[in-house]
């Protein structure tokens, strides 16, 4: 069986400020990436602090598909955070390495990410996620900003190509 790579907005389908934040924090990364690029700064402590390791999906009880990605977030112990996005059996999984992260406020994190690390098409991205609890108390995450080699893809939680809101992923049991 041939597997296809799901076209993305993967981060639009991947997804994760209320209170009173400065407008720029809600729509743009806080730093110029020099802060994120420091070798001593890693993603793992930030992801652990925000309880972001684990499994996430739009609907955990429904099989993975491009419309319902299942995201496994792990920390191999070297400071990176690895995410595998399962978008169904007909597609190759998308792989991300979070190499640096910083907490912007109580529920927002900015990260430097490598998409397809070490593979053809590897791409550095800047990602901002919002982490909250829904009305039932389930932890959620949503991409609110994403910039890759081709420019900004997600701004204010809207995928710019489609005009659609990025989905809210929920922690799976």
CA-based nearest residue to 95, from 153, 8, 154: 8
Query: CA 143, CA 127: separation in Å to the nearest integer?
Result: 7
Number of domains comprising the chain: 1
Residues in CB range of 22: below 8 A, 6 or more apart = none
Query: Do 130 and 145 contact (CB within 8 A), yes or no?
Result: no
Question: What's the token pair of residue 47?
Answer: 């992801």
Query: Do 146 and 153 contact (CB within 8 A), yes or no?
Result: yes
pLDDT for the residue 97: 96
Whole-prediction pTM value?
A: 0.76
Asked whether the bond before 34 is cis by omega within 30 degrees of 0, the reply is no
pLDDT for the residue 45: 95
Full pLDDT tens readout for the chain, 173 residues: 444 444 333 333 333 322 223 333 445 565 555 555 444 458 999 999 999 999 999 999 999 999 999 999 999 988 999 999 999 999 999 999 999 999 999 999 999 999 999 999 999 999 999 999 999 999 999 999 999 999 999 999 999 999 999 999 999 99
CA distances from 78 to 4, 43, 81, 100, 159 (A): 30, 10, 8, 12, 32
Domain that holds residue 91: 4-171
């Amino acid at each position: 069986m041939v597997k296809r790579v799901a076209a993305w907005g993967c981060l639009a389908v991947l997804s994760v400020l209320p209170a009173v934040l400065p407008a720029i924090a809600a729509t743009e990364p806080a730093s110029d990436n020099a802060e994120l690029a420091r070798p001593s700064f890693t993603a793992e402590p930030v992801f652990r602090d925000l309880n972001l390791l684990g499994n996430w999906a739009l609907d955990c009880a429904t099989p993975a598909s491009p419309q319902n990605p299942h995201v496994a977030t792990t920390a191999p112990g070297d400071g990176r955070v690895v995410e595998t996005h399962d978008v169904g059996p007909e597609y190759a999984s998308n792989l991300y390495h979070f190499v640096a992260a910083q907490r912007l406020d109580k529920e927002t994190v900015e990260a430097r990410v490598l998409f397809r690390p070490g593979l053809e098409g590897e791409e550095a991205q800047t990602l901002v996620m919002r982490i909250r609890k829904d009305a039932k108390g389930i932890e959620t995450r949503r991409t609110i900003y994403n910039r890759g080699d081709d420019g900004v893809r997600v701004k204010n939680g809207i995928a710019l190509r489609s005009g659609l809101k990025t989905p809210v992923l929920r922690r799976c049991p």
